[in-house]
Structure 1
């Protein structure tokens, strides 16, 4: 049985299938009849099921909420958990985000690394095992989730209809094997504006920016009214703070545009938060007194550019998983109220209640309320767990890297069931491009992870 040779023989097919699925824009949209997550995701899901059938697998569609492809016999199931949805593409791509173009040995496009490229790798890993005739004692099943980037309704519905695999991994993070994932808390900071303006200072009418809680926002804009030009203020601020801000003035009405750098919400230090840098600039101006300027001051004091929640009372850390991570993802401020949506990754030995209590104490007397919209508790498996041990053996065989298993701030499908962990696809030292512009997967890495996943699935299912 030579799985690596079989995968090499399928190299062109793997590359082509990856390019084809990248061309299908699969961003969550308003539901339609029979399409719970919108038309685009549904089309991508149908494409994945069709490809699975062509590769010789039995497929099952669970009411268009998700599904699987499988082969083999046995009562127990080894699962590989993938998702076909992607976050919005954002701006300023060098190559088209939905073309799957190859440049310098890399396939570019939204979803190449998160998570369509790894999904294709998983499918062809299964095909290599199937065609090798290897003796297995368990079924191997790839499960397609459709809204991993927002809500997990797809996998929740799937698991309400289908029994979870006995053991599983998800190729949706990094190598080596991941034995812990921080808790994920999504909430809104909300404030109603009753006392709007009490003097003749600069009036902020609107601030809007960001796409998703789990993305560092790369754009935000504010509409303000000022009797005097703010151009010199902005130019001086930009020069001193080395940020990208632009201004459009039309009489006393002004639009201030803030440009940041997108990144995954679990790695805000890799990006530049366009919302935070805009609010810090606004706070440097002579704003009209009132609830809006009060909120801007609170934001600067309690959030600012802090990635770790220290200023807002939740700067927790622990030995297994490190610092709490704090990301402002969306803001919607008008003359009546503000809603700021925040994504927190908290250490594995803490609870979301501890996080909320810390923030509530820090926000006392500010009239800013915390409205929790989503929480996923952390997961943690010991390093000597059977799944971790087998995956680490395979990883070390292919890479020669003797690193220990790790914990991460990202949230993967591994936390949806017992005995599941994240495993790849990013190798140590590689740039984290999930949720960023110019996302890509190197062709050689695509083939390499296919080989790793084939061996891993075989070891877990033999």
Structure 2
């Protein structure tokens, strides 16, 4: 491996051992990760049962990990199906009084729905060219496996910690964060949570997160419209059936429009003559709502086409024109909420689910607003745009921004550990994604994702997208999601160094803070 820098002799030996241990267990890690991915653990709280508040998929993946933890000799806890933990050391002898002084690596085992556009089955993982493909590989089952393998590595060395170490795995990170809200409210927060569900180097700021239903009038063509599978995923497919038109007329109109737009539209005649029906289907580029760069919302593609071609009438036309305008960029330019600051960057806006309900269309917006922007101003602009066409705001859920000062000693120490392994001079980063750090007091976000633009000048290699993954695919929440095993190894080594350093220096909290000695 690339020689780490600014490490002690003891740390160098530890990292050498970790490097060898990972390589010896590489194929086992691939197998364990694939087994997790093959469980379709989409969180669903629509029919909760005792011990299973998030549906059969989450319950199944929890049970699988609990069995594997027992096989590896670790104790574990099931928090009534909301979350589970796996604890190190394997024996609790002499540590009972110290579990209120723990370090918890926090991840999640729930995933977003499959979505559209996959070239392979989403829940049948496979390895090729050093990557594993499948839903949840990057977000966030790869991280969960790395966390669990860290416990195994430390156990193999009988490594001694000042603070007990555990892995805490949730079942509703992709939906409500109710998993860790439950754990914190009923069992208390970890002494120090390190959330392994973000990009490297260290994430110290997260934008505010608004989930907003905007309800607008619609006509008969949109009454049964449905697009999108998850609030926080960019829709990759959208389709509508138009009645009383024929495919020839529609194609003739489309031929007058921008070819770059029209190439993403497929027209299928469903009947003959003027009384027939035509389906228009749009193809976008899926992605994560918080990281929209490179994605393309298929709902916008469809309604921009319908609006330019004047293929809708009445309330349908008004609603369609509104969507074409509102969704023209993923940064809120069309709804007048565009905003940017130096701390967190640009506000993002995603219409992740759009559903017709009778004579109304419900547009669910996932908005990640900048740290210095107010939720009130965002909601005011959305309400103004909706009211102009006879609409209104529906359900609203707001999660305030997360921020830890970049000079916090914990941030500086974890950055130093990242730099030591990767050969960088990194700075803390902000992002639009929301993690469990929003609901766990005192939490820090630390990897394991490598996103180009966040990590520059590394001497240790970072994986490039594999050639067999089509352009525009492969992202978390997108089709053909993948993770690099070599990147997971880098994360493993960074965590080995970062967690052992954090363990040595964390002190007992004073006045609600966690200073370093």
Whether the TM-score (by the shorter chain) exceeds 0.5 is: yes
Residues 365-409 of structure 1, C-alpha deviation per residue, up to 9 Å, x if partnerless? 322212243211111111111221121111001100112110001
Q: Name the CA distance, whole Å, in 2 between partners of 1:299 and 1:458.
A: 51
Match of 1:59 among 70, 76, 80: 76
| Secondary structure at the counterpart of residue 309 of structure 2 | coil
- Contact 1:128–1:454 under 8 Å retained in 2: no
Determine the structure 1 residue equivalent to 2:252: 232
State the 1:289 CA deviation: 4.3
Match of 2:488 in 1: 446
Asked whether the 8 Å contact 2:105–2:168 carries over to 1, the reply is: yes
1:39 positional shift: 1.0
User: TM-score, structure 1 length as denominator?
Assistant: 0.92
* TM-score (ref. length: structure 2): 0.83
Q: Does 1:20 align with 2:62?
A: no
1:278 to 282, 295, 302: 302
- Cα gap change, 1:257/1:179 in structure 2, threshold over 3 Å: closer, same or farther? same
Q: CA deviation at 1:191?
A: 2.0
Instruction: Give the aligned partner of residue 284 of structure 2.
Output: 260
Q: Which moved more, 1:230-239 or 1:12-21?
A: 230-239
Structure 2 unaligned segments of length 5 or more: list them. 1-13, 90-94, 453-463, 466-473, 505-517
The superposition leaves residues 61-82 of structure 1 with CA deviations (integer Å, 9 ceiling, x where unpaired) of: 1111212111243341111111
Q: 2:233 matched to 1:215?
A: yes
Which residue does 2:503 correspond to in 1?
Answer: 461
The Cα shift of 1:183 comes to 0.7
Question: Which one scores higher on RCO, CA 8 angstroms, separation ≥ 6?
Answer: 1
Aligned partner of 2:132 in structure 1 is 107
Structure-2 residue corresponding to 1:33: 49
**Secondary structure of the residue that 2:293 maps to in structure 1?**
helix
Please show how residues 324-339 of structure 1 align to structure 2 within 5 Å: 324-333=347-356, 336-339=359-362
Separation (CA, whole Å) in 2 of partners of 1:238 and 1:132: 63
Is the contact between residue 206 and residue 223 of structure 1 (CA under 8 Å) also seen in structure 2?
A: no
- What's the counterpart of residue 183 of structure 1? 208
Deviation at 1:423, TM superposition (A): 1.6
Does the CA contact (< 8 Å) of 1:204 and 1:224 recur in 2?
A: no
* Residue pairs, 1:18-417, within 5 angstroms: 18-29=33-44, 30-31=46-47, 33-34=49-50, 35-72=52-89, 73=95, 74=98, 75-193=100-218, 196=219, 206-228=224-246, 229-237=249-257, 239-241=259-261, 243-249=263-269, 250-251=271-272, 252-287=276-311, 289-301=313-325, 303-333=326-356, 336-417=359-440
Distance 1:24 1:304, change over 3 A: closer
Q: CA deviation at 1:450?
A: 1.7
The two structures, once aligned, show a CA RMSD in angstroms of 2.1
Q: Alpha-carbon deviation of 1:284?
A: 1.9
The offset of 1:50, in angstroms, is 1.5
Q: Is the 8 A contact 1:204 1:225 kept in 2?
A: no
Q: Secondary structure at the match of 2:444?
A: strand
* C-alpha contact (below 8 Å) 1:331/1:339 kept by paired residues: yes
- 2:445 is paired with a residue whose SS is strand
SS in 1 for 2:162: coil
Shift in Å, 1:123: 0.7
Q: Which residue of 2 aligns with 1:425?
A: 448
Deviation of 1:8 after TM superposition, in Å, equals 3.2
Structure 1 residue 263 displacement after superposition: 0.4
Residue 362 of structure 1: how far off its partner (Å): 4.0
CA contact (8 A) 1:329 1:342 kept: yes
Bigger mean CA deviation after superposition, 178-187 or 56-65 = 56-65
In the TM superposition, residue 356 of structure 1 has moved relative to its aligned partner by 0.8
Unaligned runs of 5+ in 1: 198-202
Per the alignment, in what secondary structure is the counterpart of residue 179 of structure 2?
A: helix
Q: Residues of 2 paired with 1:207 and 1:416: CA distance? A: 35
Report which of the two has the higher share of strand: 1
Rounded Cα–Cα distance in structure 1 between residues aligned with 2:424 and 2:125:
30
Inter-partner Cα distance in structure 2 for 1:404 and 1:87: 30
Q: Which moved more, 1:426-435 or 1:210-219?
A: 426-435
- The 1:181/1:419 distance shift into structure 2, 3 A limit, reads same
Once the 2 structures are TM-superposed, how far is the Cα of residue 422 of structure 1 from its aligned partner?
A: 1.9
Residues 244-290 of structure 1 deviation map (CA, whole Å, 9 limit, x = unaligned): 11122213222111111110011223211110110111112335642
Alpha-carbon deviation of 1:333? 2.3
CA contact (8 A) 2:217 2:389 kept: no
In the TM superposition, what whole-angstrom CA distance separates every residue of 1:304-354 from its partner, at most 9, and x where no partner exists? 322111231211211111111011111112551110111000011222112
d(CA) in 2 for partners of 1:289, 1:245 = 20
Q: Number of residues paired by the alignment?
A: 454
> Structure 1 residues 20, 365: CA separation in 2 closer, same or farther (over 3 Å shift)?
closer
Q: 2:8 maps to which residue?
A: none
Q: Give me the whole-angstrom Cα distance separating, in 1, the residues matched to 2:409 and 2:260.
A: 54
Structure 2 contact 223–360 (Cα < 8 Å) conserved: no
